[in-house]
Amino acid sequence: MTLVQVHSASGSDTPAVIKILAGELTDAPASPHLIFAFYGAEHDDAAIHTYLTERFPGTPVIGGTSSGGFMTHRGICDEHSIGLLLVDDADGDYGVASGRLGADPARSAEAILQAALSGCGCSGELPELIWVYQAPGNEEAVIEGLRRVVGDRCPIVGGSSADNDVSGNWRQLGPDGPLRDGLVIAVLFPSTTVDCAFQGGYEPAGPSGIVTGVAYHAAGQSGVVTSASGREILTIDGEPAAAVYNGWIGGRLSCKLSEGGTILAETTMCPLAVDAGRVDGVTNFLLVHPESVQPNGALTTFCAVEVGDRVYAMKGDRSRLIDRADRVVQQATRALGVSSSRIAGALVIYCAGCKMAVGGDIAEVAAAVAHGLGDAPFIGCFTFGEQGQLLDRNVHGNLMISAVAFGC
């Protein structure tokens, strides 16, 4: 049997919040088998790690900073909050390992996954699910490294750690403490059912074009990505990418075409996407969030694209982004094949860009998730990149929503 508990506390002083949290944990399992921890970027994660290792010695921990707080079945917890999801499953196996991404993120990911499997005595075995939390920037390379071990035979789900203002103050938390350029991997071998879902809340707006030029600025020596793939789109249909995209979205970037600049806020409701495949004739899209316009007319993004990809202009609205959260968790729970009364709890990823787009309506998102789970406990973090399985392939995308549901 699997038991899931969620606890949270809020305050600007980390030791004081930990003290409140300790009071909330009086009925927690003495030795849970896995802990997910999320918190605002201003908190002292070294103090959080010290507390957790002393309170729950030997329990693997995975998590890190979440943009502007997080959400639970009780509602929204602000940027001053610390939250925990505890998984207690005596008949399951759970392992966590962490490390720096370094010069070769794919190789680092492969090694960290092997360490997580070894840590729970499951070397050579295929987990039911892999959950990751990492620094933004090398997500495609991380997935490539994990694929070397497990292929697409099990879901790889998770998020890219985030801060409140895209200033780079994101961190990751693993068994050995906090990291800034790190990757934390959990492998789950639960004794009961676990399943997941991964979706975006946008639809095609009409225009599309072929990527004809991409620049790639190497972060290391991995060699995983070539100049035919990367996060700076130079041209679409042979024309400067930013100008083409600007025309697709009604000229809202015109003031930045000459000198460049950040465009996150302007593009959250009108991102790009690539075709991820079709089911029953319906196209599934993997979303790509444009980050900035470059002075040379290029368009940088939070997700890699390839030369030859067709990119689509997409559109969204607040109601769709709220409703989609409910649909995602319902998809995950349906996949479990159990009634809502048999759901132990859930772990949710909701893109920080989507959170900013819905603004004050984010409380409705938390309520929608709670509804979809039948009020089972959950924790949901707000990330700067999302990983999940789309049409049986593990991918990295932007502006996505994922849910992992645990059966009792």
SS3 category, 156: strand
Q: Total domain count for the chain?
A: 2
Residues 253 and 392 both lie in one domain: no
Residues 275 and 345 both lie in one domain: no
Residues 67 and 170 both lie in one domain: yes
Q: How far is 68 from 254, CA to CA, in rounded Å?
A: 30
Residues 220 and 352 both lie in one domain: no
pLDDT given for residue 1 in this prediction: 85
Which run of H or E residues covers position 9?
strand 3-10
Considering 315, 343, 358, which residue would you say is the last residue of a domain? 315
Residue type, 286: L
Residues 218 and 310 both lie in one domain: yes
Report long-range pairs for 363-369 (Cβ below 8 Å, ≥24 apart).
Answer: 363/75, 363/76, 364/322, 365/71, 365/321, 365/322, 365/325, 366/71, 366/72, 366/73, 366/75, 366/76, 367/75, 368/322, 368/323, 368/325, 368/326, 369/71, 369/73, 369/325, 369/326, 369/329, 369/403
Residue type, 269: M
pLDDT given for residue 227 in this prediction: 55
Residue 47 structure tokens: 């103090």
pLDDT given for residue 120 in this prediction: 97
Considering 315, 338, 368, which residue would you say is the last residue of a domain? 315
Write the DSSP symbol of residue 200. E
Considering 280, 315, 350, which residue would you say is the last residue of a domain? 315
- pTM for this predicted structure: 0.94
pLDDT given for residue 224 in this prediction: 45
Q: How far is 288 from 139, CA to CA, in rounded Å?
A: 13
pLDDT given for residue 201 in this prediction: 87
Residues 302 and 365 both lie in one domain: no
Cβ-count burial of 69 within 10 angstroms (0-12 exposed, 13-18 middle, 19+ buried)?
Answer: buried
pLDDT given for residue 42 in this prediction: 96
Sequence-separated (6 or more) residues with CB below 8 Å from residue 307: 211, 212, 213, 214, 228, 229
Closest by alpha carbon to 266, among 280, 252, 256? 252
Residues 129 and 185 both lie in one domain: yes
Residues 229 and 190 both lie in one domain: no
Sequence-separated (6 or more) residues with CB below 8 Å from residue 296: 234, 240
Q: How far is 22 from 26, CA to CA, in rounded Å?
A: 7
Q: How far is 63 from 68, CA to CA, in rounded Å?
A: 15
Query: In the beta sheet, which residues pair with residue 233?
Result: 214, 299
Residue 354 structure tokens: 């989507």
Which run of H or E residues covers position 404?
strand 400-407
Domain range spanning residue 270? 203-315
Residues 148 and 229 both lie in one domain: no
Residues 113 and 240 both lie in one domain: no
Cβ-count burial of 177 within 10 angstroms (0-12 exposed, 13-18 middle, 19+ buried)?
Answer: middle
Residue type, 322: I
Which run of H or E residues covers position 19?
helix 14-24
Residues 33 and 143 both lie in one domain: yes
Q: How far is CA 196 from CA 83, 113, 382, 389, in A?
A: 21, 20, 17, 8
Closest by alpha carbon to 181, among 225, 230, 137? 137
Residues 161 and 292 both lie in one domain: no
Q: pLDDT tens, position by position, for the chain (408 residues)?
A: 899 999 999 999 999 999 999 999 999 988 999 999 999 999 999 999 999 999 999 999 999 999 999 999 999 999 999 999 999 999 999 999 999 999 999 999 999 999 999 999 999 999 999 999 999 999 999 999 999 999 999 999 999 999 999 899 999 999 999 999 999 999 999 999 999 999 998 999 999 999 999 986 554 444 444 456 789 999 999 999 999 999 999 999 999 998 899 999 899 999 999 999 887 777 889 999 999 999 999 999 999 999 999 999 999 999 989 988 888 998 998 887 765 568 999 999 999 999 999 999 999 999 999 998 988 999 999 999 999 999 899 999 999 999 999 998
